[in-house]
């Protein structure tokens, strides 16, 4: 059985880059950190760290274990906070950055629930991409962001940021229903060299599309640069281009557009993130409500 306190030591080494810095952050001695790491490696059956000059880096096994440990410790902190919040009032401003599709599907329903239960909450919502919202979150100009993360090309999550995955879903190609490829149950990306694409400029989904096609040695024709999903859907429905769309988003588009899974498959995660140590009761209440709404979408 892996020891939770030793997992916390592993996270400190990852976040601070050395045994000495981790020891300072944890208020213990460097030898104490080394001993805990040694015991954790014995429990895990793998080497978890390796020297890298004067610093320490995690091995592949260390990265896998640290990622899991981060999720487990976040869940434990959330349980502690929920207990602490039982007698604390949820009120005040909360500033949320989110993708437009997540505002429609998650943020708006969650805020409707939250403000009905806690009328003194004052939310403000800002539409935009995760790439632009993350620096604002780090700077304290936003309290939370609801963003997207692509497992095949994950954006590094800054160490001071905590997050929880709300939804993991398939990503499809959206095509006009009369497109020659629309009758295929699955679209092989290697055969997509002739497709013209519509996508949102300067976005995670565009970067994921370019990376996926590059893996098949295809230079994408991104002739249509459209921000709004309904306008992208109109371009697709007219037979002018294809679009990469998460399965939930395809459910929002009008008739005349179909979605086809990809080979190799693609997925994305929708997450909620906040700054560590700045999660007021209203922030925690909103995260809990988001999770309920997201669970309803998955059932």
Residue that the structure tokens 């939930």 belong to: 248
Count of other CB atoms within 10 angstroms of residue 92: 14
Instruction: Kindly list the structural domains of the chain, giving each domain's residue range(s) and its CATH number in brackets, ordered by start.
Output: 4-81 (1.10.10.10), 88-160+270-298 (3.40.190.10), 169-269 (3.40.190.290)
Mean pLDDT, the chain, rounded, equals 87
SS3 assignment, position 222: strand
Predicted confidence (pLDDT) at residue 192 exceeds the cutoff of 90: no
pLDDT of residue 53: 76
SS3 assignment, position 105: helix
The whole-number average pLDDT for the span 197-211 is: 89
Higher-pLDDT residue of 88, 198: 198
Instruction: List alpha helices for the chain, DSSP H.
Output: 4-16, 19-26, 30-44, 60-84, 100-102, 108-117, 130-138, 204-214, 229-237, 247-250, 281-298
Listed in sequence order, the residues at least 6 apart from 120 whose beta carbon sits closer than 8 Å to its beta carbon are: 89, 90, 91, 92
- Is the separation of the CB atoms in 101 and 252 below 8 Å? yes
pLDDT of residue 129: 85
pLDDT of residue 279: 76
In the structure encoding, which two tokens stand for residue 100, read together?
Answer: 């437009």
The pLDDT tens digits for 69-80 are: 888 877 777 776
pLDDT of residue 217: 92
Dihedral through CA 231, CA 193, CA 222, CA 203, nearest 10?
A: 80
What is d(CA 5, CA 14) in angstroms, rounded to the nearest whole number? 15
pLDDT of residue 49: 87
Beta-sheet pairing, 144-149 with 92-98: parallel
pLDDT of residue 51: 84
Q: What angle do CA 192, 270, 249 make, to 5 degrees?
A: 50
What φ, ψ does residue 261 adopt, rounded to 5°?
Answer: -60, 160
pLDDT of residue 71: 84
Predicted confidence (pLDDT) at residue 87 exceeds the cutoff of 70: no
What is d(CA 224, CA 222) in angstroms, rounded to the nearest whole number? 6
The pLDDT tens digits for 240-293 are: 999 998 887 877 777 899 999 999 898 889 999 999 888 789 999 999 999 999
């Amino acid at each position: 059985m892996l020891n939770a306190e030793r997992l916390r030591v592993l996270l400190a080494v990852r976040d601070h880059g050395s045994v000495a810095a981790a020891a300072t952050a944890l208020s213990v001695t460097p030898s104490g950190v080394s001993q805990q790491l040694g015991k954790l490696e014995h429990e895990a059956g793998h080497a978890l760290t390796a020297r890298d000059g004067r610093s320490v880096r995690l091995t592949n096994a260390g990265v896998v274990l640290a990622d899991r440990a981060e999720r487990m410790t976040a869940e434990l902190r959330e349980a502690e906070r929920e207990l602490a919040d039982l007698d604390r009032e949820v009120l005040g401003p909360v500033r949320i950055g989110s993708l437009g599709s997540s505002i429609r599907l998650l943020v708006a329903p969650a805020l409707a629930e939250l403000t009905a239960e806690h009328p003194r909450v004052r939310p403000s919502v800002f539409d935009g991409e995760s790439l632009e919202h993350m620096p604002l979150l780090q700077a304290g100009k936003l309290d939370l962001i609801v963003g997207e993360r692509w497992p095949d090309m994950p954006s590094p999550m800054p160490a001071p940021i905590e997050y929880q995955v709300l939804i993991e879903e398939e990503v499809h190609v959206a095509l006009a229903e009369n497109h020659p490829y629309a009758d295929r149950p699955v679209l092989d990306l290697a055969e997509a060299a002739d497709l013209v694409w519509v996508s949102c400029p300067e976005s995670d989904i565009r970067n994921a599309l370019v990376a996926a096609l590059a893996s098949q040695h295809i230079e994408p024709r991104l002739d249509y640069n459209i921000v709004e999903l309904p306008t992208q859907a109109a371009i697709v429905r007219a037979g002018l281009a294809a679009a990469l769309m998460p399965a939930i988003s395809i459910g929002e588009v009008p008739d005349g557009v179909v979605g086809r899974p990809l080979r190799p498959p693609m997925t994305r995660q929708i997450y909620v993130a906040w700054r560590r140590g700045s999660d007021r009761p209203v922030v925690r209440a909103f995260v809990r409500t988001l999770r309920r709404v997201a669970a309803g979408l998955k059932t």
